[in-house]
Amino acid sequence: MKPIKQSAWLLVLPVMVVLSFSAIIPLMTVVNYSVQDILGPSRHVFVGSEWFSDTLQDPELQKALLRQLVFSSCVLLIEIPLGLSLALVMPTRGAASSAALVLLGLPLLIPWNVVGTIWQIFGRADVGLGGYFMNSILHINYNYALNPRDAWCTLLLLDVWHWTPLVVLLCYAGLRSIPDAFYQAAAVDGASSWAVFRHVQLPKLRGVLTIAILLRFMDSFVIYTEPFVLTGGGPGDSTTFLSEFLTKLAIGQFDVGPAAAFSLIYFLIILLFSWLFYTVLSAQGRAEGPV
């Protein structure tokens, strides 16, 4: 349906110029490192895929990957429906909506290490409001520093608290962009609230939901600061996700090779999942009928 216009490339040119500084050069550098063994400042030996196969067979990596997948899945399963539901009930006019928007923005604006720090204290049974509430009021034995299950729950709660507003804001803006005419037509057609949601709102939010899903997946997959500050990867390695794993790998070794190799693998995994999400979600939107 869209007209073909090759000169539209001119409109995309500014973006390409800006990004050419950011993307191509650095990636080449990393690729370079990962297939070389840096034995010394002046001796670079090409060693090919040795680093890659070593890295992939590491059982620690596999465990970290599994943890990461579980974490990201939980994040998506909670934050997307929750964010959408909240956006549907947010006030749309007046002082209430202004207040709502400002409050929604607040968790997003806190530097991530501070977020981790807040919850670090908040979750402690001795000096934190949350910890105290759990242990002394609800009488649940809760300690995120010692109990892996508690550490997981706290991290999930932290992430939901921190990032659901992003989903809410996206969906809220998306809902505001649906022209009144559609709601009027639906009213005239006698549609119930559920029918309006299913046939007017949800289809029109598809673009926004795609962005929300991709953003939350990508960001949760590379999450580093908050778990590092809150649990340091522990107790043990129960909350050591992929980025923490990579950092330990890079810092602990003199050779840049394995870390760079893993960087690429990491990147490729994200790429694969994102591509899957993107393809599935936009295929659903591909509404062109047969010509």
**Smallest distance, other proteins to C-beta of residue 12, A:** 5
Element (H, E) at 209: helix 206-221
Place of tokens 């602990």: 252
What the block records as the tokens of 33 is 């490192």
Nearest of 79, 283, 284, 100 to residue 202 by alpha carbon: 284
**Smallest distance, other proteins to C-beta of residue 60, A:** 19
**Exposure class string for 5-43: b at 16+ Cβ within 10 A, else e:** eeeeeeeeeeeeeeeeeeeeeeeeeeeebbbbbeeeeee
- Residue (138 or 188) nearer to other proteins, CB: 188
- Residue (83 or 151) nearer to other proteins, CB: 83
**Smallest distance, other proteins to C-beta of residue 167, A:** 11
Tell me the C-alpha distance between 270 and 265, whole Å: 9
DSSP letters spanning 13-75: HHHHHHHHTTTHHHHHHHHHHHTEEEEETTEEEE-TTHHHHHHHT-HHHHHHHHHHHHHHHHH
**Smallest distance, other proteins to C-beta of residue 152, A:** 18
**Smallest distance, other proteins to C-beta of residue 128, A:** 7
**Smallest distance, other proteins to C-beta of residue 171, A:** 10
- Residue (56 or 88) nearer to other proteins, CB: 88
- Residue (131 or 151) nearer to other proteins, CB: 131
Other Cβ atoms closer than 10 A to 190: 7
- Residue (20 or 141) nearer to other proteins, CB: 20
Nearest of 24, 51, 22 to residue 35 by alpha carbon: 51
CA distances to 26, 109, 152 from 218, rounded to whole Å, are 20, 19, 19
- Residue (26 or 48) nearer to other proteins, CB: 26
What the block records as the tokens of 200 is 């007017």
**Smallest distance, other proteins to C-beta of residue 215, A:** 8
- Residue (29 or 49) nearer to other proteins, CB: 29
